[in-house]
A and B are shown apart, each in its own frame.
Chain A
Amino acid sequence: MKRTSKTIWLAVLLACVLTLGPLPQAARAADANTLTIAYAPEDEAMAGVTFRLYRVADVSRERVSATPVAPYDSYNVLNGSADWLAKASTLAGYISRDGLEADASGVTDETGRLTVPGLPDGMYLILGESQTRDGYTYIPTPFLLFLPNTADGHTWEEHVSTYVKFTRYSNSSPDPTVRRHVLKVWEDDGQEDVRPDSVTVDLLRDGAVYDTVTLSAENNWRHDWTGLEAGVRWQVVERETPGYTVSVNESGITFVVTNTRQDETDITDPDIPLDEKPPEDDLTDIDDPDLPLANLPQTGQLWWPVPLLTIAGVLLLILGAARRRRSAWDEE
């Protein structure tokens, strides 16, 4: 099972480079894929868990690539450079907030398995519902999957099996409240002058907007929520920030919201060849020896003229006194 999953994730990684124009007709194998999900937190199958599948991108078998589809293309998530788990988690927040309909769904059986047949080619986001067992709440980790799947970019597997990771928290904590923290990070090579002055983030309580805060330099781009109800799902989404992709990484009680500056070139531009890196001339590299940099600041007090002025002053005094004395002798 683990081997299959690794294969699947490798394929998802291969799909990292998003692109490009219409999908070739030959690749549109109609509804040929079957996905089997296995959910067994701590090696114990969990039955009755609902999983929802959202087809978020078209895929191309020829180019092992994906193109986001509406309405998911409006979130500026899939074309970013974040890892795929972060993209999945970020998209999950937007889907919860906006109440988007799933393309398919189902419930796990007694073996913790769910099989969904008849899925068209595509990249799917898979979201599962929380479930409580033995005093713990288990939350399936959102993930993205490429259907059909490939390990080598040539051989395609239409029948795909995967297992679902999870996070859990205890329901027996004496504190009935929880705390959540959000931190904004900019990945823009220090282009502070083009950043917005602030961004708006929503805290979602079981998918519904619970609170809205503005993050800016004034609050050091971060915020704490305290006294939140325990036992419910808290998520954070950022409202659209034009010119930046967004990803939300959840770690413990902290949500790191990263905005990455989008290149001026459009990644969906059909003229951009896949996998081709931008010309090196376009990159600003501090190590480039030809890149002119400003001199280091002058951080000294103006002491150097003092000895010069003193020496010159003393010399003039001596010279002047000597002249006066000679003049006095001449007069005598």
Chain B
Amino acid sequence: MKNKKGCSLILCGLLLLAAALGLSAYNLWDEYRAAASVESILAQLPAPEATPLPEGMTPDHILAPEMEMPTVAVQELDYIGTLTVPALSLDLPVLSQWSYPNLKVSPCRYAGSAYEDGFVLCAHNYRRHFGGLKDLSIGDTVQFTDVDGNTFDYVVAEIGQLDPDDTREMLSKDWALSLFTCTLGGQFRVTVRCDRAEASSDFV
């Protein structure tokens, strides 16, 4: 009888270990898939033409910062540009709108616009997405490039964590750019706040 109970416990233990192994394998595969997805999109995003502005033309986003951010469609999804984080060796496409399916593909815009303060981007904590945000340091540089080729330079000013229901705080326009992702346990949101750096350039 005791022998039978012992066998059952061993079987249950093996099942749990198999579940842990399976979940780890799925997560690792998902990481790999997400990294491949980002690479594939970056390869397909058309490079903006770095042509000087025609005479008498002011960049649209300066004339009308409240304008919609222009988008480019890749694989039937609309992208607003790319995010570069040199300290993490990250170069990431950014989707125009967030949704759970979109987050599996690429970082997404959560709110706002690069042309005004309060621009908020979110991504999964895949290592190839925002998994390394917590490793950034104050003063690290971040750059966003829109699909027209306008670049917006930022400097990391604060790194912290917010509760999942701190939406109002996340949307604060006190910061030019905010990046966030989940902590490993999923209980909090690692939040990187950025101020605008001085130099930005404009192309059409």
Contact = CB atoms under 8 A, between A and B. Distances in A.
Given A254-B63, A320-B13, A323-B2, A310 B20 contact: yes
A209 B92 CA distance: 44
A318 B130 CA distance: 38
A66 to B, nearest CB: 27
Nearest to B191: A296
Contacts of A183: 60, 63-64, 67
Interface in A295-318: 295-307, 309-310, 312-318
B122 A296 contact: yes
Interface stretch (A23-31, A129-137, A324-332): A324-332
B16 A309 contact: yes
Contacts of B183: 300
Interface string A159-187: 00000000000000000000101010111
A1 interface: no
B16 A301 contact: no
B203 interface: no
Given A220-B71, A313-B14, A299 B130 contact: yes
A319 B9 contact: yes
B27 A254 contact: no
Nearest to B26: A302
Interface string B114-125: 000000001111
B8 A301 contact: no
Interface residues of A, number: 56
A252 B63 CA distance: 10
Contacts of B64: 183, 185, 256, 258
Interface string A214-236: 00010011100000000000000
Q: Most chain-B CB neighbours within 10 Å: which of A220, A296, A323, A331? A: A296
A299 B17 contact: no
Interface stretch (B51-59, B134-142, B150-158): B51-59
A312 B189 CA distance: 28
B103 interface: yes
Contacts of A70: none
A278 interface: no
Q: Most chain-A CB neighbours within 10 Å: which of B10, B30, B66, B189? A: B10
Contact of A327 (B3, B110, B130): B3
Contacts of B171: 286, 293
A296 B9 contact: no
Contacts of B10: 316-317, 320-321, 324
Contacts of B3: 323-324, 327-328, 331
Nearest to B31: A301
A299 B125 contact: yes
A60 to B, nearest CB: 33
A320 B182 contact: no
Contacts of A283: none
Q: Most chain-B CB neighbours within 10 Å: which of A220, A304, A328? A: A220
A289 B168 contact: yes
Interface string B5-45: 11111111111111110011001001100000000000000
A253 interface: yes
A215 B99 CA distance: 26
Nearest to A218: B73
Given A286-B168, A323-B6, A317 B124 contact: no
Q: Most chain-A CB neighbours within 10 Å: which of B126, B182, B183? A: B182
A247 to B, nearest CB: 11
A294 interface: yes
Interface stretch (B82-90, B159-167, B194-202): B159-167
Given A314-B17, A317-B14, A319-B9, A306 B98 contact: no
Contacts of B125: 299-301
B13 A330 contact: no
Nearest to B181: A299
Interface in B165-192: 165-168, 170-171, 180-186, 189
28 contacts: A183-B63, A186-B68, A217-B71, A254-B58, A256-B63, A293-B168, A296-B162, A296-B164, A297-B98, A297-B100, A297-B103, A297-B110, A298-B186, A299-B180, A299-B182, A301-B125, A302-B27, A306-B23, A310-B20, A313-B12, A316-B9, A316-B10, A317-B9, A317-B17, A319-B6, A323-B9, A327-B2, A327-B6
Given A251-B58, A312-B13, A327-B1, 15 more contacts: A183-B60, A185-B68, A220-B68, A253-B57, A295-B165, A297-B98, A297-B110, A299-B123, A300-B185, A301-B124, A306-B20, A309-B16, A316-B9, A316-B16, A320-B10
Interface of A: 179, 181, 183, 185-187, 217, 220-222, 249, 251-254, 256, 258, 286-287, 289, 293-307, 309-310, 312-328, 330-331
